[in-house]
Every structure is written in C-alpha cells, then in structure tokens.
Structure 1
Amino acid sequence: MPPRLIFGAGGTGTTARSFTYTWDTPEKVSDFLSVLQELNILELDSAAVYPPGNTWNAETLLGQSKAADKGFNIDSKANADRRLPHLDEERIDISISQTLGLLGVDRVRVYYAHAPDLSTALEKQARAFDLQYKAGKFEKLGLCNYTIKDMEELFAICDEKGYVKPTTARAFHAYSPVAGGFLTGKVTFALGDPESMALKRTRWRGASALPFAIDTYDDPAMHQAIWTLKEACDAVSPHILLQDAALRWLMHHSALGEGDGIIFGAKTIDQLRANVAGARAGPLPDTVRETVDGLWGSVKVKEQLRVNVSDRQKWKSKA
C-alpha cells in the first residue's frame, strides 16, 4: 500500500515574510478544507509555530474554520525555540493547552516534539509528554528532527519508566515532497532572471526567501539534476510534470509504504487539486523511475555535508 496524503498547514496564515498569502482568513481556509473533503484527505499537519514567523496563526484559523467539526484529524507540534528550553513540563502544558483551545478540541491525534530541546534532559521531556498523554490531550506521540541516538535513548527511558512511547517515530511522514517548489523546476528555469515572477513570494527570492532552502538546493549540481529529470519526463508520452514525477516516485517507488504519510501543501485550489492528481497518477514509467533513482548519485555529496540540526554537541558548541 502506498503512503497516505496529509495536508500541511505550514502555509496557513500569513506574515510579513510569508511565501503564500493565500489561506489568511477563516473563509479561505474553509475553501481548501472543502476541497480536501472532496478529495478524501482528512488529515492536517499543524504546529504551534505555523506559519513561520507568526506563531499560533495557523491553528487560530483552523479553529475559526471549524476544521475539527468538519471531520479532520489534526496533528500538532509543541511550540519550539531551539535556543531555549521548550519541552519541559511547564512549557509543554502551556503549548498543548493553547493548541487545544485554538482548535476547539479536547485532544489532538498526534502531538509532536517539533525539534529537540537541548536544554532539557530527555527523561524530563519524556515525563512531561507522558503527563499530557495520561491527561487525554493526545492519542499518539511523535518526534521531529531527532537523531537516531536520541530516539534510542528516549525509547529506553520510556521502557524503563513506563512512559508513552513515540509511535509516530516508527512510521515516517515525509514533508516538502517537492522541496519547497524546487522540484517544479521553477528555480532552475529562472536562472539568470532574478526578477522572475515565477519566484515572487516563494522561498527562493525576496523578503519571503528561506536561507535554508536556498543553501540546500540552489546549487549547480541540483540544477543539473533538474535538467536531467526534465529530459526524462519530456521523453515519455504523455509528458510528465517534474513535480508529478517527484510525488509519484515518493508514492510508489520510495521506501515509504503503508502507515507512512506524505505531507504536502498548496498555494491555490488549482494547485491543491493538481498536486493530489499528480500523486495519485500511479507508478512512473521505468525510464523516469530509473532516472530519479540515479539522480541521488549526482547530489549526495552535498547532502552528506549538511549538519544535522539535532546534533547535540554541535548545538552546544554554538551556545
């Protein structure tokens, strides 16, 4: 079975640096919720810090649009600031209480640690989440951005103390399946045109740019990979859009499977429908699949040089 589709609420709401400016009122949020219902996608991935730069705005709008009353299962994440303690008992209680109040629910399905808390001992984090679980405020515990080492240590603590274990760490929810829009080709195709309208209000140019995305993807090897993929997608009939190739590969040819999920987003209703149609279009032709499989070799050196933000020693050395 392929993974299921989950709509990401990271672009819900707006800020001065927002890259969406689309779902910024309860009425507009209700519009995309109606389409998701039509498409039988009833899972929403939210977080206290969504949208980036305007904490609680996404969950405020989801509550105002009555997402839970419309049958959506909403996952959320604890308010996170990597510079400060945020997963101790007091702060988790404040965060989840705010989330539940804004969403208008008694509990969420999955509640995540959005990022490691390098200032709070793992045992204290585990105990704090266990208290909220036993209070009935979430059904499953999840982890984001943790190292394997920390996950193993946390599981050992939970086993020893009888605390709730992170069950969603065992499954995998892949987010940003088109790499913030990079896998649409629009960044590569706009090279040499810094004023390209295709990049307006995106992660790639101007006030809404995300340095992490630019550092990760705006690179000669990455751009060459896009041209290679485009050639393969154009060579089949009917032609395949680059983003559809990425979505279909994740759905049918990656390590993801039953129990896993793909968290995707959209800036418009048309884009929402197109992304879902692309993901559900079935396995890729062999030539395109083989091309995608082979692209990793051309970009893996860059990826291996990236620093894992969960590495405790590196973060402590920067403190």
Structure 2
Amino acid sequence: MAITTNNLKVIYGGAAFNTSYGSNPETVTEVLQFLRREGITSIDSGQAYGDSESLLGRAKAASLGFSLDTKVAGGLWPHVNHTKDVVIKAGEDSVKALGVDQVDVYYIHAPDRKVPVKETLEGINELYRAGKFKRFGLSNFNPAETAEVIRIAEENAFVLPTVYQGNYNAAGRLAEKELLPLLRKHNIAFYAYSPIAGGYLTKTPEDINSGKGRFSRDLPAFGAMYNSLYNTPKKLSFLTEFGKIASENSISQAELGYRWVAYHSALTPENGDGIIIGSRLGAQLTNTLNWLKKGPLSAEAAQKVNDLSKIIEGEEILDNWNDYISKKR
C-alpha cells in the first residue's frame, strides 16, 4: 500500500524515538503498529539520535517487518576521529542495538573532515564485507565531497554509495544545482529530509520574529542556527508569499510544503527517491500522511511555489550542517 499516489517512497524518521521526548518501547511499538497499518515499513535511525537505535531494538522493529537504516555519526561528533576501527565498532554497535544482523542502508551522517576519506571508507567497506548492511549511504556531504567518496571507492574497489540523504524542500533547493545531477550520474537515490525546513515553512514572519518554535532565542542549539539561516528579509518575504499560496488553495503551509516535495520537486520514484517524515504519533502524523495521500497540487499552485525560488536567490542553503554547524567549529 503506497502513501503517495506516485509511489514515492516514504520513510519514517526514527530521531523521534528518544527517551528525552518521552519514548519507551511501548510507545515506539504503538507508532510502529500505526505505521505498518499505513503501509510505511522503513525506519531511519542513527548513532547521533540518542537512544533511538536501542528503543527500536527493544521494540523489536525488525520482527514487526520494518526495514531499518542507520548512520555512523561522522562529523556530527567532533570529539571522535572516524578512523577505520572506530567506524567498524560503531557499525557493530548499531546493528546490535537495533537487534538485527544487517541494516538496509548504513550512512555516514556527515563528513568527518579531520580524517582522510579513504580511512573512513575502509571501515565502511569492512562492515559491508561482514554483511552488516545492504546499501551504503551518504548524508550532508557537499557535491565535491560526494564526488571524492565515489572516486576513492571506485579506485579501491570499495562499496559505492547508492543512497544520499539530504535536506530538500520548497525553500531549500540548492541540491538541484550540483548535487542531484551528480547523484543521477552515478545512480544514487535521494532521500529528502526536512520537507518543511525544520518548521520554517509552517511559520509566518511574525512567528519567526517573535521566536516561535525552533526560532526561540532561548533554545541555544536551535535558536541561533534557525534564525541565522532563515530570519533574513528575503526568507521572510518568501514565507509571506508561501503563506498566500497556501491560503489561496485553502490548505495549510505544512500541507503545501509536503505535497510540493512529494509531487512537484526533482524527486522521482523511478530513481528510487524517497521522503523522510518526522512527525510524531497523533494528529501531526495523521495529517502528514493524509496530505501525502491527496496527490499533486494544482498546476498553478505548484508553479507559484517554484517561482518563489527567485525571492531567495543567493541565500539558498544545502543543509544545516554545511551552512551553519560546520562553520561554527
């Protein structure tokens, strides 16, 4: 049973499974059972997502019929050098925590620029040879780094990346310029995370200026980053026009964002692409799935969203990692 009318893959973001958010094996099982009923059978987790992996393992997600993806933290953990041995141990720990012998996709969550790429890839390749994962993925690598990984993997007969997980939404389309053409050239599927730009696309300029949600100045980790990336005159103007399009079509801004990514972006099921949703169980998750089931926007609405890119020309971002986090280190 497909969620989207075009059969674009839908993956559930397992970062939502975390005891700091109130999760436990029972609540995780409840979400998993709901997802199964809706036809979603792929869960994305990661070493950097707190206890997400162990919660999925304790809930026996694999036994419930779910395909599991996970990630070695890579550059997200600046205190760790991702050498061959470190990567191997991380992979072994992840599959053990998840309660499986093998995951579907094993990603490097972000490039560790402190360590030679080849050394990190040696660890990835050993895990692949040991059968710990089926497919190798990259996340948050810029186009040049992605090309370097492909080159080194080819030169050394290492496993090649076949999935890329990246930021992609109506206000974040920089991937279309260099990254996506590179991925298409090498037959690498694209899984889009942050389809509503971390909540930015659901806000009004007034919400942002008043510090609503992740734009709160009281959130040291998120507030400074989201205001730096999105609280600019161009981005606020974009948001005003985005809100007008949603209003004209009698839908919410969140629905407009999700349906644009699923049906009017560069993602295609033929290339194996997918969309990652992170809504938690309840009305938010139900609404997200119902929006995706509705199919494409009107041609006029889709074109209006496409045209908004002109407003933020020169301020497009690739992702939070490349455009903010890594620059602060």
Tell whether the structures are fold-level matches, with TM greater than 0.5.
yes
Mapping for residues 91-130 of structure 1, pairs under 5 Å: 91-130=86-125
- Please state how far the C-alpha of 1:2 moved relative to its aligned partner: 4.9
Matches within 5 A, 1:128-143: 128-143=123-138
**Paired residue total:** 295
Structure 2 residue ranges without an equivalent (≥5): 1-5, 165-187
Alignment partner, residue 222 of structure 1: 235
**Distance change in 2, residues 1:269/1:88 (3 Å):** same
CA distance 1:227–1:147, shift in 2 (3 Å): closer
In the alignment, does 2:303 pair up with 1:285? no
List per-residue Cα deviations over 1:79-134 (Å, max 9, x = no partner): 33453454311111221111111111001100001111112212222221111100
Contact 1:2 1:251 in 2 (8 A): no
Change (3 A) 1:147 1:295: same
Alignment of 1:1-319 (within 5 A): 1-15=6-20, 21-22=21-22, 24-50=23-49, 55=50, 57-80=51-74, 81-169=76-164, 170-185=188-203, 188-190=205-207, 193=210, 199=212, 202-205=213-216, 206-207=218-219, 210=222, 211-236=224-249, 239-258=250-269, 259-303=272-316, 309=322
Report the secondary structure of 1:282's partner residue.
coil
Give the superposition deviation at 1:255: 0.4
Distance 1:301 1:265 in 2: 28
Residue identity matched to 2:104: R
> SS of the counterpart of 2:112?
coil
Stretches of structure 1 that go unaligned for 5 or more consecutive residues are 16-20
Q: Is the 8 A contact 1:229 1:292 kept in 2?
A: yes
- Tell me the secondary structure at the aligned position of residue 237 of structure 2: helix
The two structures have a TM-score, normalised by structure 1, of 0.84
In the TM superposition, what is the alpha-carbon distance from 1:14 to its structure 2 partner? Answer: 4.2
Aligned alpha-carbon RMSD (Å): 2.5
Distance in 2 separating the partners of 1:171 and 1:58 = 24
Identity of aligned residues (%): 30
SS of the aligned residue for 1:302 comes to coil
Q: Secondary structure at the match of 1:136?
A: coil
Q: Which amino acid aligns with 1:250?
A: V
User: 8 Å contact 1:7–1:44 — kept in the other structure?
Assistant: yes
Structure 2 CA distance for aligned equivalents of residues 65 and 157 of structure 1: 38
| Per-residue CA distance 1:13-62 (angstroms, 9 max, x = gap) | 144xxxxx35x211111111111111101111110010xxxx3x111111
Q: Distance in 2 between matches of 1:5 and 1:69?
A: 20
CA change 1:129–1:306 in 2 (3 A) is closer
Residues 252 and 119 (structure 1), Cα distance of their counterparts in 2 relative to 1, 3 Å cut: same
- Which portions of structure 1, spanning 4 or more consecutive aligned residues, are displaced by more than 4 angstroms? 191-194, 304-308
